[in-house]
Copies of this chain bind each other. A is one copy, B any other.
């Protein structure tokens, strides 16, 4: 066993940068390198000492890396990279296409079992910490309703989906909770609300020269899983406005479980996040779960895993007796 958990990053955008920053806050882990499909010279880690390698050579590092943190997008990168890299590495990713989680789980599970690696998927805050709070809420309060609200905030996965559309030069997507829906939940009404009743989606797009706005708008609002089921607004803006108003990446939201026990006693559990940087927070969750994935693999476990399968103590650098003494 190495002195440090040896971690590498596959894909170096906002999320990859966040993982590098989070690793620097965790002294039991060490960043071995960054893998990118881009020309290595054009990739500049925060720490200039961190080596950058071409993605095409990643297999040759199988013996040098304990955990590979996958920082690509869910729409096209992860469905391909996840199952491929699970053949060589214990991996952690933030796959967030809710509709296909079980397909992705199956696609990871086979190569990971065969290789004896752990493939820990859908880590972050939603999916991830919000998922856990939905599970805890309904397990503890068996009779009740669970509500997840997001925003106002920038969604990385949906912004990437917007940017994948032909004709889009720059794009961001914000999710906003419906004020009316929140008010009803907080009054304890336990209303039935569809996801589209709870939120609206706003996209801000800079078009490529010559792109047709109506075609771009139609492609976005009809995109399955991402936008088709929501009220989606698309705003077209220029480069200057985009740079001025849409460069920060805040987010937040909450999960509420509103339940009843015994002879009608109301019980409420609320989990909320106020995030100055969404990618840095997601990255911080990935790094904590990278520690857990490493420990699961060290124990001889293999196969696909989600946050539901990971005992919370495995996330902490503290040993079990210290955790009990300090935090129980």
A contact residues vs B (CB 8 Å cutoff): 17-18, 21-22, 25-26, 98, 101-102, 105, 122, 127, 129, 131-132, 134-136, 138-143, 261-263, 265-277, 280-281, 283-285, 288, 291, 306-313, 315-317, 320-321, 323-325, 327-328
Contacts and interface: CB of A to CB of B under 8 A. Distances in A.
A154 to B, nearest CB: 13
Given A21-B262, A129-B136, 6 more contacts: A135-B313, A135-B323, A140-B315, A267-B284, A270-B272, A270-B274
A142 B284 contact: yes
B261 A281 contact: yes
A306 B280 contact: no
A316 B135 CA distance: 7
B18 A262 contact: yes
A128 to B, nearest CB: 9
A307 B328 CA distance: 9
Nearest to A128: B328
A143 B25 contact: yes
A273 B268 contact: yes
A302 B142 CA distance: 27
Given A308-B313, A311-B311, A315-B140, A327 B288 contact: no
A308 B285 contact: no
A148 to B, nearest CB: 10
